[in-house]
Amino acid sequence: MGLLDFIFGGDDAQFKRHARRMVNLNAQGEDRDASAIWLADNGSPEAISALLNRFTIKYEQGMKDAAEKETIYRILVDIGPSVVDPVRDWARVNQQFAQPIRLIEHFEGPEAAVSLLLEMLAVEKDPFKPEKKRQILIHLADFRDHRIIEGAQRCVTDFDEGVRYAAGGAILAQEPDVETTPILQTVLRKILADPEEDSNRLKVLIAEAFHQRRWALGDATAAVAEYPPHGWVVSGDRLVPA
């Protein structure tokens, strides 16, 4: 250990100091930048996690906050593919996972990003903590992947209305084709026909899709006609604006 290491406590003490600074809103931006560079040079999984922790805090100055987070994202990209495993581990246990998912997509492509999101969705089962589940579904809506239909389908009966709405959005975001259209129609008809579904905005979202895509209600026609979404009526076997 050199003299400076002895004075400042060695690499472990330096690491802890730089890691703390990354989440210290009272630190100067320049100091956080210096800590980010130090952590990037360190390159260990722990250092990558410390860099990722910057995504958990938010400045009141939105533009400054966004710019600094973009800088951290670019630093992580520059480190290279070695960030992927620590990023996956971090995303699994943290709420602010948008940039980590972006990193996975950058290095491994959209299929890998969807795989991670679906894995994360599958373990979010606490009915009293729906926010991460809702955010996962919102992010899934940005992708086109047949697997999303099955993953989101499990959430359309969730206790939380926001989760159900986000699940509907993720399902509707998938491009209908010969394979997926029957599945989409079946899932969405059940929601429209469910008298216990009290989310009018979810039913309206689905009604708009049925109307735009010229989908018939099929065997759900009578049930939907009895409890149509607000502002919609059933004409024949189709939903039309009232």
Task: Tell me: pLDDT of 143 over 80.
Answer: yes
Task: Tell me: pLDDT of 5 over 60.
Answer: no
The percent of residues above 70 in pLDDT, for the chain, comes to 96
Task: Tell me: pLDDT of 49 over 70.
Answer: yes
Nearest one of 158, 150, 161, 229 to 189, comparing CA atoms = 229
Could you report the per-residue pLDDT of 54-64, keeping only the tens digit for each?
Answer: 999 998 888 98
Position 60 scores a pLDDT of 81
Task: Tell me: pLDDT of 25 over 90.
Answer: no
Position 62 scores a pLDDT of 84
For all residues of the chain together, what is the average pLDDT?
93
Average the pLDDT over 138-163 and give the result: 96
Task: Tell me: pLDDT of 8 over 90.
Answer: no
Task: Tell me: pLDDT of 140 over 50.
Answer: yes
Q: How far apart are CA 208 and CA 240, in angstroms?
A: 8
Task: Tell me: pLDDT of 3 over 70.
Answer: no
- Give the model's confidence band at 88: pLDDT under 50 very low, under 70 low, under 90 confident, else very high: very high
Position 29 scores a pLDDT of 85
Is the C-alpha dihedral spanning 188, 192, 198, 202 positive or negative? Answer: positive
Question: Which amino acid is it at 89?
Answer: D
Could you report the per-residue pLDDT of 160-207, keeping only the tens digit for each?
Answer: 999 999 999 999 999 888 889 999 999 999 999 999 999 999 999 999
Could you report the per-residue pLDDT of 113-138, keeping only the tens digit for each?
Answer: 999 999 999 999 998 999 999 999 99
pTM: 0.90
> Could you tell me which residue, 6 or 241, shows the higher pLDDT?
241
- Give the model's confidence band at 40: pLDDT under 50 very low, under 70 low, under 90 confident, else very high: very high
* Residue-by-residue DSSP string for 161-209: HHHHHHHHHHHHTSPP-TTTHHHHHHHHHHHHH-TT---HHHHHHHHHH
Q: What is the DSSP letter of 61?
A: S
Residue 135's CB is within 10 A of a number of other CB atoms, namely 20
- Give the model's confidence band at 10: pLDDT under 50 very low, under 70 low, under 90 confident, else very high: low
